[in-house]
Amino acid sequence: MTPGPTVAALVAREELGLRLVAGADGSRRRAGSVGMVSAVDSTALSPDALLFTGFDLAAAGWRADVLMRRAHEARAAGLVVPANGSLAAPTSALADHLGLPVLETTRDVLAAALAVQECIAAPQVQRAAAVLAAHRDLARRAGSPEDVVAVLSALAGVDVNVQDGSERALAGAPSPPGDGAGLIRVPVTTHATAPAMWVTARLPTTDSERERTVRDLLTAGASALQRWTAIRRVELERDARLRAGLLSELLQLDDEPSGAFRRRILELGWRIDGWHVGYHIRALGTADVVAETTDVVTVLHRHGLDPVVAETVDGWSGWCTSPSPYGIDEVRDLVHRFRQVQRSLAAQLPTSLGLGSAESGPLGMVASIRAAGDAARVAQARPQTGHFLHVDQLGAAQLLLATTRTEAFAPRARDLLRPLREQGGSLVETLLAYLDSGSHVLETAAVLGVHRNTVTARLARISSVLGVDLEDPDTRLALHLACRALSAEQG
């Protein structure tokens, strides 16, 4: 039960009409409730109760003594009687001996009891009104951390903030440093996990009644945050499924997107025309991709990047877009910014980040994102680079070999050989025959039924179109795997 006001405090309230006539040493007793008693029926005696009676103690004799002893044994706060005259000296002496406050009232006893009860209950009533106001005001809002801080700070009269598990302020001013005195923290629990957020406030002075009020208000705020978190989670998962599904379809493209597909892409605000640089952030270990998306977007924005962001099975993919070709300085700036993003993310959760090359159009964008995913996979094992890699730092062999154990291998093979396929089928056919023959020009010419000089010229053209060195063993292996994957896919 909440401790009530002291008897002395009640006497000091002139509107209550109480006067202390005996037992002054007990005036610091606290009244937690009121009760009505008579000389013969003392069943209403209870601890901390201020007892009211219409019984005339001045003329009661021994019965007054019995009532006062029973009240003392019950640890009552005091006894209030009608002001019908002075107390008998023995009665007054007994009250002083027991330390039981005896008060007189000139008002009707029942009316006086109701007035005192209202006074005792006032803090609880005020606290309930404040909590009701908090629930009402928060119900009118979304219940976000900012909403909770605004509503509770106004009602509590102190600065309130919302913190994460590491005590960093998510909304509201950070709590001033201190030794914990006056600090109130209420957890925001979700599911059966440890609290992800806390609603906190620091009281400048020690006041038990105010502390209870503020704690109840913070609890109301925590409940609002629980609802907001649950609703937000549903919204995030819905949006994430939409983005992830569309990105998955986009990455399967091997031809220009249809008009209907373009419309779906544009409805999300994604741009697929122009020049693009894809990226992939790979979450290492266990991560709640949906829940972390907001933090990832925040980090990207902090470093001056506003790319498309879509959730994937192992992290986040997307791209930056420019209406004109990226210059060398622009690419260098993007590399710098994404490297900073990786450093910032590494402080929050383990990730690797791959950045694709600049490509044009929807298919080029898809190729850049795929290459970025391969680079992120390779970067996972590159702590010396800060787990960041730009595809321009890697050869075709490294990128392709990084995907041979994934479902992305066939699409990556198509991307690698697309420049040759666009030049006509003879170059892909020549490359496959050359690699199947163990890189022998004469045997290749015999298989294809052409002159050796034709083979030599085609190989030079292949090297030029792909930008690779066919003398490099790793490159030949990667291209051979790609040719075989493409051949198997085409039946």
What's the pLDDT score for residue 408?
A: 58
Q: Treating both helix axes as pointing N-terminal to C-terminal, what angle do 62-73 and 89-98 enclose, rounded to 10 degrees?
A: 10
CATH 3.30.70 residue spans of the chain: 253-394
In the three-class reduction of DSSP (H, G, I as helix; E, B as strand; rest coil), residue 46 is classed as coil
pLDDT of residue 369: 93
Higher-pLDDT residue of 276 and 84 is: 276
Give how far Cα 268 sits from Cα of 246, 261, 274, 295, Å.
Answer: 9, 11, 17, 20
31 φ, ψ (degrees, to nearest 5): -100, 115
For residue 175, what are its two tokens?
């709590």
* Residue 405 pLDDT: 45
Cβ–Cβ < 8 Å for 351, 315: yes
Going by C-beta distance under 8 Å and a sequence separation of 6 or more, which residues neighbour residue 334? Answer: 277, 305, 320, 326, 355
Mean pLDDT of the 117-136 span: 87
Which CATH number is 7-119 given? 3.40.1390.20
Name which of 142, 148, 195, 149 is nearest 172 in CA terms. 149
Cα–Cα distance, 276 to 79 (Å, whole number): 85
Name which of 85-94, 216-225, 367-376, 425-434 the model is least confident about: 85-94
Tens digit of pLDDT for each residue in 146-189?
Answer: 998 899 888 888 888 988 777 788 888 877 665 556 788 888 88
Residue 59: what pLDDT?
Answer: 65
CATH value of 407-491 in 3.40.120.10, 1.10.10.2840, 3.40.50.150, 3.40.30.10: 1.10.10.2840
Using CA atoms, how far residue 437 sits from 174, 331, 430, 449, in Å, is 70, 40, 11, 14
Is residue 342 very low, low, confident or very high in pLDDT (cuts 50, 70, 90)? very high
Kindly tell me the sign of the dihedral angle through the C-alpha atoms of 47, 48, 54, 59: positive
How does pLDDT run across 465-481, given as a tens digit for each residue?
Answer: 888 888 888 788 888 88
pLDDT for the residue 353:
94
Among candidate residues 126, 147, 129, the one with its CA nearest the CA of residue 199:
147
Question: Could you tell me the two tokens for 458?
Answer: 């085609």
Supply the angle between the helices 425-436 and 473-489 in degrees, to the nearest 10. Answer: 120
Predicted pLDDT at 43: 59
Positions of E strands within 62-208 = 78-82, 102-105, 160-164, 169-171, 183-188, 197-202
% the chain with pLDDT above 90: 16
Within 10 A of 240 (CB to CB), how many other CB atoms are there? 18
Taking the C-alpha atoms of residue 489 and residue 19, their distance in angstroms, rounded to an integer, is 100
Contacts of 298 (CB under 8 A, 6+ apart): none
Owner of token pair 């208000």? 217
Q: What one-letter code names the amino acid at 364?
A: G
Q: Read off the amino acid at residue 68.
A: M
Provide the mean pLDDT of the chain: 83
Task: Extract the tokens encoding 379.
Answer: 């970067």
What is the pLDDT at residue 289?
86
Q: What is the pLDDT of residue 277?
A: 95
The Cα–Cα gap between 53 and 35 comes to 9
User: 220-270, pLDDT tens digit by residue?
Assistant: 988 988 888 888 777 777 887 888 888 888 888 888 888 888 888 888 888
Residue 397: pLDDT above 70?
A: no
Distance set, CA 46 to CA 27, 123, 317, 488 (Å): 17, 21, 69, 90
pTM for the predicted model, two decimal places: 0.51
Answer whether CATH 3.30.70 is correct for domain 253-394.
yes
pLDDT, average across residues 349-355: 92
What's the pLDDT score for residue 337? 93
